[in-house]
A and B are shown apart, each in its own frame.
Chain A
């Protein structure tokens, strides 16, 4: 049984560009949350998707957007990249919104130059 998978594992982008990160949840999970983890810090909640809708959002600008597909997979899009967007982006999946059983992927390391 595959856990949470994220792609790509690493990527480098230039300031001002746009990026799309992808996440496939653990089998049987229907809720996907995205977190940003800056170096040396704990993960910060970006947003959560359930039933293909954004249900809750953290303190992130509109440049951060997402999508959830009917198969529960999800994308995170970031527009107009800033140097400060460089971080590890983590996807977590759970069942029916409940974060008591959240499983994390290995993350996507984004570097903005």
Chain B
């Protein structure tokens, strides 16, 4: 079956440094990947997505890298700010027609001054 996993439960990063959050997936047929940010007491918020025909996609201060060979994706946050403190999830829609989202367990990013 399909599964999604994250490599680290907690990432502590100093303000201004870059953050890298990793995620592994199991289904080689997956063709779309999403990163969500969830702040305390809130629902997941879309950050950035990437399709399988791309290796890299950039947004505002965020970059997602996709390595289909090893079924791995990462989220890079440049110049991490206190407002970036949150739990980050990668989510992969299933490859059937309904595409329910499968989430990893999440990585807690803690930004220290």
Chain A residues within 8 Å of B, Cβ to Cβ: 4, 33, 35, 40-45, 48, 55-56, 58, 90, 92, 97-100, 102-107
Q: Are B43 and A45 in contact (CB under 8 A)?
A: no
Q: Can you list 21 A-B contacts (CB < 8 A)?
A: A40-B105, A40-B106, A41-B106, A42-B4, A42-B89, A42-B105, A43-B101, A43-B103, A44-B103, A45-B101, A56-B96, A56-B98, A90-B44, A98-B99, A99-B101, A100-B34, A103-B46, A104-B36, A104-B43, A104-B44, A107-B43
Neighbour of B106 across the interface among A42, A97, A100, CB < 8 A: A42
Q: How far is A48 from B99 in the complex, measured between Cα atoms in Å?
A: 10
Are A45 and B46 closer than 8 Å at their CB atoms?
A: no
Question: Which chain A positions have C-beta within 8 A of B104?
Answer: 42
Count of A-B contacts with CB under 8 A? 59
Closest to B92 in A: A99
Classify the secondary structure of A's interface with B. Answer: strand
Partner of B32, one of A35, A42, A100: A100
A48→B43 contact, CB < 8 A = no
Q: How far is the CA of A30 from the CA of B96 in the complex (A)?
A: 19
Query: A99 to B106, Cβ gap below 8 A?
Result: no
Chain A residues whose C-beta falls within 8 Å of the C-beta of B106 in the assembled complex: 40-42
